[in-house]
């Protein structure tokens, strides 16, 4: 099993290209099930989750091809992948596939919309929380689907097709917003989604669906309106830059010091996180092709944050920000409001010398003068990269074990950090 070894103490200086967003690419790929034409996606990142979803879509009959790279392209430019669901050969998403990646459950929306039936395994629990699917079920029922649950599978049917309706999310859910927006695109009549997720990835999906012929307005606001159409066509769409990767590397620069341009990304995707970073002492400015991040000479200042749906502070940056706060000059607090079990990285950060105490969903971080390298274990995707950030600033050598979590969401992490002066290497086996 691969490990990552880090020798801390180096500042980061240079350019880090930001990849396409995993959290946008996955629903965009699933949207290919809505049409028998070809959906072409540009800037698709090289990630384990993307490869797994390609296999899952193949189970339903989606063919894909990858465009060859031009000589001027680099791996950071992402791939262009063509998805064609000419014929849906199977409307069942089996447990052995859904259990490997939770987002694969989202195929239920397009399958119901296009084929009027779907049998999809319940995805089960998750290391960072249960993430129940009741919002998906209630929303699809509001669109006219008949849904039964039997032996761990959701059996959904919409004889004659889905029908538009008004649905109010009792709590904000990005995944359920994705699914209902895709399903409603082929429903009869108008659908209004209230208290919908406002994340940039939701906007990106709506933009792509509209390019395919959907009629969606209001994406990025709490109210999304969809006028159903009889069929969608193919389209070409570029995946937006990964705001979580952007924020992660910005926090790494704030942790180590230095001067880095995050290339190909947009500061508007991360207003709340960048506000917190500026309070912590980072300087963030617009660069010709991205964002420049530096840290001033005053060290890291303590900042309190509360995770919240967009435009609030992202839960997917909570662990990384906690790593940064371990080196602050005072006491900070992080309140996690999205997932009930997303502090598993605390014990691993403590192995590096961090002083963190927990009270319910609030972490109290007392900054320390130094962290010391140690063996640590990645527990989930975002927690794993928080340990990398801490290792970059720790004295001596840090080894992060179980880095397959990292490969799910960070493309070529070691290469990008090494190019900016970090001492990071992957150890195989």
On the question of a cis peptide bond just before residue 311, with omega within 30 degrees of 0, the verdict is yes
- 135 annotated to a ligand binding site: yes
HSE-CB of 64 using CA atoms within 13 angstroms: 23
- 259 annotated to a ligand binding site: no
- 302 annotated to a ligand binding site: no
Spatial separation of the C-alpha atoms in residues 413 and 381, rounded to whole Å: 13
- 66 annotated to a ligand binding site: no
- 100 annotated to a ligand binding site: no
Altogether, the residues listed in the chain come to a count of 429
- 338 annotated to a ligand binding site: yes
Strands 223-227 and 190-194: antiparallel
- 303 annotated to a ligand binding site: no
Spatial separation of the C-alpha atoms in residues 217 and 55, rounded to whole Å: 32
* Closest to 350 measured CA to CA, from 315, 385, 375: 375
Q: How many helices (H) and strands (E) does the chain have?
A: 14, 24
- 171 annotated to a ligand binding site: yes
Q: 109 with 143: CB under 8 angstroms?
A: no
- 133 annotated to a ligand binding site: yes
Q: How is residue 188 written in tokens?
A: 């009869």
- 154 annotated to a ligand binding site: no
Measure CA 78 to chain center: 16
CA 281 to each of CA 147, 257, 302, 321: distance values in angstroms, whole numbers, following the listed order: 51, 10, 9, 13
126 a catalytic residue? yes
Q: 226 with 190: CB under 8 angstroms?
A: yes
- 355 annotated to a ligand binding site: no
Task: Produce one character per residue of 305-326: b if its CB has 16 or more CB atoms within 10 Å, e if not.
Answer: bebebbbbbbbbbbbbbbbbbb
- 23 annotated to a ligand binding site: yes
- 75 annotated to a ligand binding site: no
The one catalytic residue among 89, 126, 331, 427: 126
- 69 annotated to a ligand binding site: no
Q: 259 with 294: CB under 8 angstroms?
A: yes
Partners of 313 in beta bridges? 307
335 in helix, strand or coil? Answer: strand
DSSP 203-220: HHHHHHHHHTT-EEE-BT
The 10 Å Cβ neighbour count of residue 166 is 12
Q: Which residues are catalytic?
A: 126
Q: List, as residue ranges, the binding site for phosphoenolpyruvate.
A: 22-23
Q: List, as residue ranges, the binding site for UDP-N-acetyl-alpha-D-glucosamine.
A: 102, 131-135, 171-174, 316, 338
Q: List, as residue ranges, the binding site.
A: 22-23, 102, 131-135, 171-174, 316, 338
């Amino acid at each position: 099993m691969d490990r990552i070894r880090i020798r801390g103490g180096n500042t980061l200086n240079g350019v880090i290209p930001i990849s396409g967003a995993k959290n946008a690419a996955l629903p965009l790929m699933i949207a290919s099930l809505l049409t028998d034409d070809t959906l072409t996606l540009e800037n698709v990142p090289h990630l384990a989750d993307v490869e797994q979803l390609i296999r899952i879509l193949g189970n339903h009959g989606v063919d894909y091809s990858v465009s060859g790279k031009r000589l001027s392209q680099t791996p950071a430019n992402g791939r262009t992948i063509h998805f064609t669901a000419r014929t849906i050969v199977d409307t069942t998403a089996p447990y052995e596939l859904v259990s490997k990646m939770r987002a694969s459950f989202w195929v239920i929306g397009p399958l119901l919309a296009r084929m009027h039936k779907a049998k999809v395994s319940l995805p089960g629990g998750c290391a960072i929380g249960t993430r129940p699917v009741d919002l998906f079920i209630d929303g699809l029922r509001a669109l006219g689907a008949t849904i039964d649950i039997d032996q761990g599978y959701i059996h959904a049917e919409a004889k004659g097709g889905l029908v538009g309706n008004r649905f109010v999310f009792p709590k904000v859910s990005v995944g359920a917003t994705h699914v209902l927006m895709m399903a409603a695109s082929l429903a009869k009549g108008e659908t209004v989604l209230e208290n919908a997720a406002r994340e940039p990835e939701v906007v990106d999906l709506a933009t792509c669906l509209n390019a395919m012929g959907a009629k969606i307005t209001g994406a990025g606001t709490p109210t999304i309106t969809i006028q159903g159409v009889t069929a969608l066509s193919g389209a070409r769409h570029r995946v937006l830059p990964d705001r979580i990767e952007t924020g992660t590397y910005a926090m790494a620069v704030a942790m180590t010091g230095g001067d880095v341009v995050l290339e190909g990304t947009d500061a508007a995707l991360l207003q709340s996180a960048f506000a917190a970073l500026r309070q912590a002492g980072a300087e963030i400015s617009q660069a010709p092709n991205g964002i420049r991040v530096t840290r001033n000479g005053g060290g890291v200042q303590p900042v309190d944050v509360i995770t919240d749906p967009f435009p609030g502070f992202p839960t997917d940056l909570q662990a990384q920000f906690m790593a940064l706060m371990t080196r602050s000059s005072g006491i900070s607090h992080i309140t996690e409001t999205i997932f009930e079990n997303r502090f598993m990285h605390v014990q691993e950060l403590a192995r590096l010398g961090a002083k963190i105490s927990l009270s319910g969903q609030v972490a109290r971080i007392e900054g320390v003068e130094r962290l010391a390298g140690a063996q640590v274990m990645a527990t989930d995707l975002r927690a794993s990269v928080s340990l990398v950030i801490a290792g970059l600033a720790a004295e001596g050598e840090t080894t992060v074990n179980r880095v397959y979590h990292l490969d799910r969401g960070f493309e070529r992490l070691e290469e990008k950090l090494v190019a900016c002066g970090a001492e990071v290497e992957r150890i195989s086996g």
